[in-house]
Amino acid sequence: MIDSAQPFVAQFERARLAGAGSPWLDEARRRARDAVAEHGLPGPRDENWKYTPVRPLERRGFTWLERAPGRLDAAGADALAFPGLACYRQVFENGRHRADISGGEALPEGVVCESMSDAFNRHADSLAPFFKRSFPGSEQAFAALNTAFADDGLYIEVPDGVRVATPLLVLLANSVTEDRVISHPRLILRLGKGASLVLIETHAGAPEHQNCTNLLSQVELAEGAELRHLRVQDEAERAMLINRTDLDLAANASYTGFAIDLGGRLVRHDLNVALREEGAACDLHGLYVLGGRQHVDNHTRVDHLVPNTRSSERYKGVLDGHSRGVFNGKVVVHEGADGTDAAQSNANLLLSRDAEIDTKPELEIYADDVKCSHGATVGQLDEAALFYLRSRGMDLEDARGLLTYAFCREVVDRLRIREVRERLAGDLMEHLPSGLVARDTG
């Protein structure tokens, strides 16, 4: 057994997991445990993890928790959400579903939205293909850990033709516990033909908590389905988040994703998109605003598997202090995928000499007649723009803040929901390293 896997395997042997006794689920969990034991956690020799060491996670000695402490109340959940937003809310605390403070606006008839522990009993046939997927090798160890330990989370299914007007908010909150807790929630989402949904995923919690969340999301979009997905991460200063999202798109399905990273000490997000049938399209937007010693790593991969699919990717970063950002965006145009249209960009502002960004946009093309582009920029604030603002009476810090804020707002302004856009604009001003004053920006 690899040393880095030993604590997790030991916890697995002691764990009492929901759904235990189901032959297919027990077997899937054992296979995942064995994969982690054989390969261990990713290390510096793993290409996709060489900029993001996981030694801090190993050193902290996280504990899997069978039950949530239940410290969060409805008012606390409201404070972590979006004021005035009419939505259907599902709340998790330290990885455990909190039915008592979930609810809100009703979902249309036929829509399934259940905790994973309930879904094991009611929708086993639908869950089995997702849990039986293997995640071999150390680079996928966290996904395998999720399969081994996941006994809570959310199962969502929207029937053919149902367009859900009410946003679904999934709040993953962390509270202070006696031990540092690691949770492994699972989110499985299936949209039927022509169905649509707005999913808002938020990660937050008590400012002083030091927990780790290892979330695996698996999404299937049938023909003509449409998913708009916003992920907002504003975790505590010493929190850790490992987040992987796998998407599978059928003909003419579309996915629009926003990934906003403001908090956390060590954050990793893997986003994998498979465009499997003609007409499938995805638009990916990202923003990370970092300071102190924060480390945020965004890895994306888009596979164009058939002709006439489209993808666009726009990520922006602002880094101050001793923070470090990583962006690795890979687009693969497979053989025969003629007519592919793919664009990718990553723009970064470094506000400190000690901040660092490792950016690597990649294109692999094995087809003809394609339209593909990619690029990355790393720079500082425009000196001419700074001079212009200062010549009109603005001090240096406010001028730096205003220009940085404008750089970030390009992403936030693309959000369609007013309550979400307004909340994020305010959060953004609080997180900007220059201390932008809200009085001048409205």
User: Is 335:306 a contact under the CB 8 Å cutoff?
Assistant: no
What DSSP assignment string belongs to 62-130? -EE-SS------HHHHHHHS-TT---EEEEEETTEE-GGG-EESPPPTT-EEEEHHHHHHH-HHHHHHH
Please tell me the predicted confidence (pLDDT) of residue 393.
77
Mean pLDDT of all residues belonging to the chain: 92
Q: How many CA atoms, within 13 angstroms, populate the side-chain half-sphere of residue 418?
A: 2
Question: Which of 109, 127, 209, 231 is closest to 166 using CA atoms?
Answer: 109
User: What average pLDDT does this structure show over 59-83?
Assistant: 86
- The per-residue pLDDT for range 207-262, each reduced to its tens digit, is 999 999 999 999 999 999 999 999 999 999 999 999 999 999 999 999 999 999 99
Is the overall model pTM greater than 0.85, yes or no? yes
Output the CA–CA distances (angstroms, integers) from residue 81 to 85, 239, 420, in the order listed: 8, 18, 9
Please tell me the predicted confidence (pLDDT) of residue 23.
95
Tokens of 434: 């220059």
d(CA 399, CA 389): 6
Please tell me the predicted confidence (pLDDT) of residue 439.
38
Q: How many residues does the chain have?
A: 442
- The per-residue pLDDT for range 290-304, each reduced to its tens digit, is 999 999 999 999 999
Please tell me the predicted confidence (pLDDT) of residue 278.
98
Please tell me the predicted confidence (pLDDT) of residue 52.
93
Give 50-56 contacts, CB < 8 A, sequence gap 24+: 51/297, 51/324, 51/326, 51/358, 52/266, 52/268, 52/295, 52/297, 52/326, 54/4, 54/266, 56/240, 56/265, 56/266
Q: Which residues are registered as beta bridge partners of 129?
A: none
Residue 308 pLDDT level (bands cut at 50, 70, 90): very high
**Has residue 442 got a pLDDT over 60?**
no
Share of the chain above pLDDT 70, in %: 97
Question: Which of 56, 69, 125, 59 is closest to 95 using CA atoms?
Answer: 69
Least confident interval from 61-65, 125-129, 395-399: 395-399
User: What average pLDDT does this structure show over 382-410?
Assistant: 80
Number of helices (H) and strands (E), helices first, in the chain? 10, 22
- The per-residue pLDDT for range 352-362, each reduced to its tens digit, is 899 999 999 99
d(CA 374, CA 314): 10
Please tell me the predicted confidence (pLDDT) of residue 440.
36
Residue 434 pLDDT level (bands cut at 50, 70, 90): low
Please tell me the predicted confidence (pLDDT) of residue 433.
57
Higher pLDDT, 426 or 277: 277
Question: Which of 237, 218, 339 is closest to 279 using CA atoms?
Answer: 339
User: Is 356:386 a contact under the CB 8 Å cutoff?
Assistant: no
Question: Which of 88, 114, 290 is closest to 198 using CA atoms?
Answer: 88
- The per-residue pLDDT for range 173-186, each reduced to its tens digit, is 999 887 889 999 99
Other beta carbons within 10 angstroms of residue 333's beta carbon come to: 25
Residues 6+ away with beta carbon under 8 Å from 353: none
